[in-house]
């Protein structure tokens, strides 16, 4: 991403998005953290046993732990070896973009296996009694996509609502989708409808990494737009829309549907913090916390963990501080 002066960011934001969900036109920096900061596509949770764990793309689902959400330690990987079925999707058994949640007395870890530039992809699911690395039991494929499909089964994110379990997912290939899961198995219901939530009007439909949360009477869809994974040349940014129904339609604060390229700009790169995206949201002591990665321009574009608290305006839109 090109570095821009704060004044130019302010002018652009005010001119183009007068009622966006962002905190300010200059954007907040990530909250200070120490220790092992390198991460990509983070998913975090506050453990029932105390402390925090984060999983991410890299390794066999790389793990980080923290006692206070400030100092982070490398904790190895979720798995000691890749499950054998991962090799159906790439030669190295490389997983991407995990999602961590807790329900029914267990921790649930969803993740994607694929190859760059193809939608021959799968989302897998594993469970653990503690949520800690080395304790996961893999249960195989939860949902898949093939080259004949118009969606890509990567970047999973779970949400429960009204007794039902849903998974949003998607990357390029016409954008963000959603499917209902069986709460018992954690896998897609047989014959379940694949709902369409967000896309871009122009190829290659550069939107991915969805995450949905409920606040008040709305469901909020956060997603990463533009280019990931290019270090300081990344243009990743986080946009958001909302809906009164889980399956949409989602619109931004101007009323533009996310299926027509809408989405309020919540956070984008600024200063040394380039390509903010790969986001997830978790609850910590009753507050919503946004987790994401950025590429550190002061450290050769190394991907690092960004954490910011979300607040909500009177009109019900999220902002970052």
Residue 303 lies in a domain: yes
Residue 211 lies in a domain: yes
Number of domains in the chain: 1
Residue 239 lies in a domain: yes
User: Which entry of 41, 94, 155, 279 is annotated as an active-site residue?
Assistant: 41
Burial of 252 from C-beta contacts in 10 A (0-12 / 13-18 / 19+): buried
User: Which entry of 99, 138, 155, 208 is annotated as an active-site residue?
Assistant: 208
Residue 1 lies in a domain: no
Which pairing describes strands 137-145 and 121-128: parallel, antiparallel, or unpaired?
A: antiparallel
Residue 39 lies in a domain: yes
Which pairing describes strands 71-77 and 34-35: parallel, antiparallel, or unpaired?
A: parallel
User: Residue 194 sits in which domain range?
Assistant: 6-320
241 vs 10, 96, 180, 249, CA distance in Å? 21, 25, 20, 9
pLDDT by 10s per residue, the chain, length 321? 333 333 333 333 333 333 444 434 689 999 999 999 999 999 999 999 999 999 999 999 999 999 999 999 999 999 999 999 999 999 999 999 999 999 999 999 999 999 999 999 999 999 999 999 999 999 999 999 999 999 999 999 999 998 999 999 999 999 999 999 999 999 999 999 999 999 999 999 999 999 999 999 999 999 999 999 999 999 999 999 999 999 999 999 999 999 999 999 999 999 999 999 999 999 999 999 999 999 999 999 999 999 999 999 999 999 999
Residue 34 lies in a domain: yes
Residue 156 lies in a domain: yes
Burial of 221 from C-beta contacts in 10 A (0-12 / 13-18 / 19+): buried
CATH number of domain containing 74: 2.115.10.20
CA 234 to chain centre: 16
Active site residue 296: no
Residue 36 lies in a domain: yes
Active site residue 190: no
- Long-range contacts of residues 250-258, Cβ cutoff 8 Å, at least 24 apart: 250/197, 250/198, 250/219, 250/221, 252/20, 253/19, 253/20, 253/21, 253/315, 253/317, 254/17, 254/19, 258/176, 258/197, 258/198, 258/199, 258/221, 258/223
């Amino acid at each position: 991403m090109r570095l821009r002066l704060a004044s130019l960011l302010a002018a652009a934001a005010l001119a183009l998005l007068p009622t966006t969900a962002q905190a300010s036109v200059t954007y907040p920096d990530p909250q200070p953290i120490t220790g092992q900061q390198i991460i990509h596509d983070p998913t975090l949770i506050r453990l029932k046993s105390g402390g925090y764990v984060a999983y991410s793309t890299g390794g066999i689902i790389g793990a980080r732990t923290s006692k206070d959400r400030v100092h982070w330690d490398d904790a190895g990987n979720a798995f000691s070896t890749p499950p054998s079925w991962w090799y159906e999707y790439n030669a190295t058994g490389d997983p991407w973009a995990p999602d961590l949640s807790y329900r029914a007395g267990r921790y649930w870890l969803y993740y994607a296996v694929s190859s760059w530039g193809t939608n021959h992809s799968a989302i897998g699911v594993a469970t653990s009694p503690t949520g800690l690395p080395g304790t996961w039991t893999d249960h195989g494929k939860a949902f898949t996509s093939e080259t004949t499909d118009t969606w890509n089964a990567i970047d999973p994110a779970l949400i429960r609502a009204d007794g039902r379990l849903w998974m949003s997912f998607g990357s390029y290939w016409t954008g963000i989708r959603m499917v209902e899961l069986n709460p018992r198995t954690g896998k897609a219901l047989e014959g379940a409808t694949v709902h369409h939530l967000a896309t871009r009007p122009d190829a290659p439909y550069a939107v991915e990494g969805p995450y949905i949360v409920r606040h008040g009477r709305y469901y909020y869809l956060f997603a990463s737009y533009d280019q990931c994974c290019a270090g300081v040349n990344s243009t990743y940014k986080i946009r958001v829309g909302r809906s009164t129904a889980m399956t949409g339609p989602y619109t931004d604060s101007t009323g533009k549907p996310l299926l027509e390229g809408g989405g309020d700009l919540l956070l984008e790169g600024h200063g040394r913090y380039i390509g903010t995206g790969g986001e997830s949201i978790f609850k910590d002591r009753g507050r919503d916390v946004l987790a994401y990665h950025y590429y550190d321009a002061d450290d050769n574009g190394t991907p690092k963990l960004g954490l910011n608290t979300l607040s909500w305006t009177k009109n019900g839109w999220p902002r970052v501080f």
